[in-house]
Structure 1
Amino acid sequence: MAHSNLSTEAFVKLGDFLRTFCDLVTTNTISDHLNDKWIERFKTEAERAQHYNGWFSEENCIHAFQEWGNALTKENIENWLKNYDLETNQEKAIALIMAGNIPLVGFHDLLCVLITGNKALVKLSSNDQKLIPLLIDYLIEIEPLFKDRVTFTKEKLENYDAVIATGSNNTARYFEYYFSKKPNIIRKNRNSVAVLNGNEPPEELKALGEDIFRYFGLGCRSVSKIYIPKNYKIDTFFEAMFPYNDIINHNKYANNYDYNKAVYLMSEFKILDNGFLILKEEESFGSPIASLFYEYYEDIDALKTYLKDQEDNIQCIVSSGFIDNEISFGKTQQPSLNDYADGIDTVDFLLRTSLN
């Protein structure tokens, strides 16, 4: 495939379609367009997703479609790729072992592999078996050359030149052992944190709720811990979170809320609770579903130093005027194309990896 013009055009068309589809959902006019087979297929898969994975609510699937639609514009793709020399790529087969914690979480790796002119051998997560093949089916219709570029497999991975694998800290140890002889990117658990200064306007704090509750907090970009100044009034935070209280009506979320609250109470931990979110003072980063860890700080420079030392465990820092590469409140689940997981440049890795 002459690298990338065909790829880029196909992904731009995919972005156009996803934006159109999400507009029809938002304006409640989708029923007028069900004679379009793709509109109907995407609608059906978004509705069905929850049957295969209870965490994949229709709303969250649509949100994932929308964010990919926003990302895949001609301008965004050209700006992303302009710093790379794609002509240097040697065509390779890249094994992708995907996570499935949130809808389409593995799609960025697949995009990187295809747009650099490589082939993908994909092992989907059992939690996200439908949505990524749906996007690939759409791409193949636009550009049939993709048909030979993506292979989904449930078998043992064989005949690949490099691997990108995403999993937990436990599976990462296995991946590192198993794939050590091939060029690889092995991703582990990461969490995201927010640093509050106590003077956030109400709309900024409310936006933080999007970072906490979107995808039920299951993403590595989901805020699982907040740092708050000494004497911070927690009521201010809880007030800003109130608009998200509907989340407790989601069955799996409610079960986790009840379970984690019971565990904390039986262990006699001191917790704060507003009926749909549990706050627990805790040094570690990864809070369970329906709970959020918090920690007080007194010295902002000491906190900066500490978080810098912990950067291998942190995906995003949400704040306002705290550090240079911070994420604005409410924006963690709107990554741009060059927001690479774990800060490892996937495109650069693919271009530098040569055939043995």
Structure 2
Amino acid sequence: MRNPLSKIVVDIQPSGIRKFFDIVSEMKDAISLGVGEPDFDTPWHIREEGIYSLEKGRTFYTSNAGLKDLKIEICNYLNRRFGLRYHPDHETIVTIGGSEAIDIALRAMLDPGDEVLIPQPSYVSYLPCVTLAGGKPVIIELKAANQFRLTKEELLDAITDRTKVLIMPFPNNPTGAIMEKEDLEDIVKIVEEKDIFVLSDEIYSELTYGKKHVSIAEFPGMKERTILINGFSKSYAMTGWRLGYAVGPAIIIEQMVKIHQFAIMCAPTTSQYAAIEALRNGDSDVETMRDAYDQRRRYLIHAFREMGLECFEPYGAFYVFPCIKSLGMTSDEFATTLLKEEKVAVVPGTAFGECGEGFLRISYAYSIENLKIAIERMERFVARHKCK
């Protein structure tokens, strides 16, 4: 029988995060610090709007690109928060989470062999999505010495004549790194000089601490060459609602809608009505959750430093990225042994790229009570293995 499988798909490695989730789900008394999912319930007024939409029988397809009212609210939000102006009809699409937006943006922009620059450590979906779109991933290794920010030197070294797209994964998953205005200024100059496009994943834009998020699309000339990805999962604790969006040049959005039209049809109708309420009346909910995350962030940074583990201060998302090289273990060995000995699940840094070796991703999207229990167990583990 002929092989039924695509070699391209077979060659893509499964997510390095999943095996720890699968083990911890069957382990009694285990604590997971691995999931990038808010522990908050979706705020009640948002849930209520979703329920109301069902009660009113709003269960039909929406237009392919999304409800007009939702697209208007997305544009209003981006204008209010970042001074960005987009047209709801021609420059906006509602998707199944930010992940679908990343996928269809790359498929709409890439021809076989086009190179896509991916700063790593970063979200696990970028590389496989580039590969599935026929592009060639080119990895830029971010460094702890630079607080995992992308530098102009690193960018210039990676650009070739085949470079078409730069992915900007900030605020960053897994490191929590951000790019401030002065950091982006250097990147913008190079992007314009080399005539490349940017896919800016800003799903954590509302989760920054003491620093205001700056979008690369805010810079003169960048709105025309940037696809901005965002969504509702992280900011509004709406992971299960599966709703995201992209805004950008009409010529690109039009092709993204075409792919979305054939593969998806439209995003969930109930979720779209709930998202309208989130954008209109959810600012205070975001602030409440952000304050709680900030408390947890500061607690973890202090705890890891007290353990003697290097941990730079992240200003975005809800992750810390401590260095465990001093223990003489690989990231995978540390995570596997910690889970076995202390029943605490964390994610090896290598799940987000080879340059994540020697680091762990710790999510603080958990209650402070659970974090304290987990830290007590990790302190025992680190003390025990430092003595060996």
TM over 0.5: no
TM-score using structure 2 length: 0.25
Q: Considering Cα pairs closer than 8 Å and 6+ residues apart, tell me whether 1 or 2 has the greater RCO.
A: 2
TM-score using structure 1 length: 0.26
